[in-house]
Amino acid sequence: MSKKRVLVIDDDPLILDLVRILLEGEGHEVVALASGESAVEQARVLHPDLILLDIVMRGTHGMEVLDALRQAMPEVPVVLLSGAVSQIDNMAAIARALGARDFIEKPFDAQRLLAVVNDTV
């Protein structure tokens, strides 16, 4: 497993902390943003290997951020996170259709999150 730089965008500080602890424990570098407003600019500066993006956030909606990221950095994989779904299989298909690599339902299973991060890039 190679070390990855992961940009995490979520408006829930608990999720940001949990993801940071999990991924840094695996040796990855984690940069956390609490909103999507500066996500594209930060991604351009950071050159992340992977972006974990919450869909439902205060301010800029995750789907708007995904669209902007796909236009600015189509080569960087984005994995969507959300607890606002009732049909995970449908959401995963929609996420891929919109250019996301995968979808993880919150609350997420730590092993699933690590598997997705470790298998990406």
pLDDT digits (tens, 9 = 90+) for 35-89: 888 899 999 999 999 999 998 878 777 888 999 999 999 999 999 988 765 555 5
* Two tokens, residue 9: 């965008």
Residue 81 lies in a domain: no
- The domain in which residue 38 lies consists of 1-59
For 31, the 3-state DSSP assignment is strand
Q: Which helix (H) or strand (E) holds 51?
A: strand 50-54
Q: Summarize pLDDT for 3-34 with one digit per residue, the tens.
A: 899 999 999 999 999 999 999 999 999 999 99
Residue 41 lies in a domain: yes
Please count the structural domains in the chain: 1
* Two tokens, residue 99: 């250019």
Residue with tokens 């890039």: 121
Let me know if 107 is exposed, middle or buried by CB neighbors in 10 A (0-12, 13-18, 19+): exposed
Predicted model pTM: 0.89
Q: What is the CATH number of the domain that holds 52?
A: 3.40.50.2300
β-bridge partners, 78: 51
Contact 78, 49 (CB under 8 A): no
